[in-house]
Structure 1
Amino acid sequence: MLTVVELVRQLVERQCVRRMDHGDLADEQVEALGLTLMRLDEAMDDLCDRFGLERSDLNLDLGPLGTLLPRD
């Protein structure tokens, strides 16, 4: 389940970055999104710690398709 949460978190983060790069957001929105994304990242760290996982443990190997999450 944490893998799905991490996937959605990464997708939302990428969409936010795209919108910021295109200037679609007001300064207040950019600041709010930045704070929210930082909090989400911290929450994922907390969940991984709670369950004794590393972020890399959340990445599923899809065989010939590669991994579900991009490797950073």
Structure 2
Amino acid sequence: MSLTNLDKRPEKSGRIQLDPESAEQGLAQLVLTVIELLRELVERQALRRVDGGTLTEQEIENLGVALMNLDVKMDELKEVFDLDDEDLNIDLGPLGNLL
């Protein structure tokens, strides 16, 4: 058995790895990628609303705190599953990278 077989972390190929030996890692990578994509979309929409002047000062403050808390939680989850930002930027083939 080679040392590379002992490493349960997927290769940095930019693709989701869902082989039986690393299914949990691959599933975590996929779920966190979807969450990161949604977080970025929400953040962009929030900035548009802030720039558009449709939010009160309190709503802006609450939104900022919520986005910061989500960022902290994402960092914690990436650490738990030994993932980094590059791992969440999956390769969509001819469409390019997701994030």
State TM-score, norm by structure 1.
Answer: 0.91
Task: Tell me which of 21, 24, 27 is aligned to 2:57.
Answer: 27
2:42 matches 1:12: yes
Give the letter for the 1:34 counterpart. Answer: G
Count of matched residue pairs = 69
Q: Which runs of 4+ in 1 moved over 3 A?
A: none
Aligned CA-pair RMSD: 0.7
Q: Work out the CA distance in 2 between the residues paired with 1:31 and 1:59.
A: 29
Gaps of 5+ in 2: 1-30
Q: How does 1:1-72 map to 2 (within 5 A)?
A: 1-69=31-99
Larger Rg: 2
Q: Give me the whole-angstrom Cα distance separating, in 1, the residues matched to 2:45 and 2:66.
A: 13
Q: Deviations over 1:3-53 (max 9, x none)?
A: 111111111111101100111100000000000000000110000001001
Q: Percent identity?
A: 57
